[in-house]
Amino acid sequence: MAFYPKILQRVSRSLTTINNYRLLSSSSSDYSVLFHHTNSATPPCPSFLDNNNNNNQSGVCSRDFCSGSSNFDQLNSQGPAPIDYSALLQEDEFHKLADATIHDLLEKIEEYGDSVDIDGFDIDYGNQVLTVKFGNLGTYVLNKQTPNRQIWMSSPVSGPSRFDWDRTAEAWIYRRTKAKLLDTLENEIKQLCGDPIKLS
């Protein structure tokens, strides 16, 4: 009696595969189609993908996906292209500009900390991260983000922000607010400590 359930199971799988092939054949002329099947083996590309042009040889079939190379690439290229930050600023140029900015901030803020009386003031630079502590007033953290060509800053006043180099203004600018990095720090440090600081 166990023989009959096995036959029914095989017939059910065959019908499922046939229905899937029919679903594929009724789809549009686009070669990118989802392909679900029940067998673990990789099926061959069905001949109806040929569309009488004998192009199905370029198709690639897998267990979960069946595609033709040209149309599939065309579909993928229709989405919005991601921003290529490396095209805006070359990596060596980015490091040169970012390092100069951070080192300059390190020197000027350190001098500022020596000239004013701030309990708990401390400044440290390591692993390309600049940390400035103004005691109970708050802590700034600045670091380079090379893949994005940005300087990221965490501020106790304005929160997190990301600054891009603007060639026209020759400054690091937070594009959401158009604020410049050095101006932002000058305004916020004066607001926190009460004494002005010159960074630009």
pLDDT in tens, 98-111: 999 999 999 999 99
Is there a single domain that holds both residue 61 and residue 120? no
Q: Name the 3-class secondary structure at 63.
A: coil
pLDDT in tens, 113-169: 999 989 999 999 999 899 999 999 999 999 999 999 999 999 999 999 999 999 999
User: Is residue 146, in this structure, part of any structural domain at all?
Assistant: yes
* pLDDT given at position 143: 97
Domain that holds residue 55: 3-76
User: Is residue 200, in this structure, part of any structural domain at all?
Assistant: no
User: Is residue 171, in this structure, part of any structural domain at all?
Assistant: yes
Is there a single domain that holds both residue 144 and residue 166? yes
- Which pair of tokens denotes residue 89? 């600023």
pLDDT in tens, 160-171: 999 999 999 999
Is there a single domain that holds both residue 92 and residue 55? no
Is there a single domain that holds both residue 66 and residue 99? no
Is there a single domain that holds both residue 71 and residue 89? no
Is there a single domain that holds both residue 112 and residue 184? yes
Q: How far apart are CA 14 and CA 51, in angstroms?
A: 24
pLDDT in tens, 87-97: 578 999 999 99
User: Is residue 51, in this structure, part of any structural domain at all?
Assistant: yes
Q: DSSP of 23-47, one letter per residue? A: HHHTS-S-S-EE---S-SSPPPPPG
Question: Picking from 61-70, 77-86, 136-145, which range would have the lowest pLDDT averaged per residue?
Answer: 61-70
Is there a single domain that holds both residue 49 and residue 90? no
* pLDDT given at position 67: 37
Q: What is the pTM (predicted TM-score) of this model?
A: 0.57
Per the structure, how many domains does the chain have? Answer: 2
Instruction: Write the CATH number for 166.
Output: 3.30.920.10
Is there a single domain that holds both residue 166 and residue 67? no
User: Closest Cα partner for 190 from 143, 134, 123?
Assistant: 134
Q: Identify the H or E element spanning 111.
A: helix 91-115
Is there a single domain that holds both residue 65 and residue 91? no
Give the residue from 45, 76, 107 where a domain finishes.
76
CB neighbour list of residue 108: distance below 8 Å, 6 or more residues apart: 197, 198, 199
Give the residue from 23, 58, 76 where a domain finishes.
76
Considering only residues 125 and 60, tell me which one the structure prediction assigns the higher pLDDT.
Answer: 125
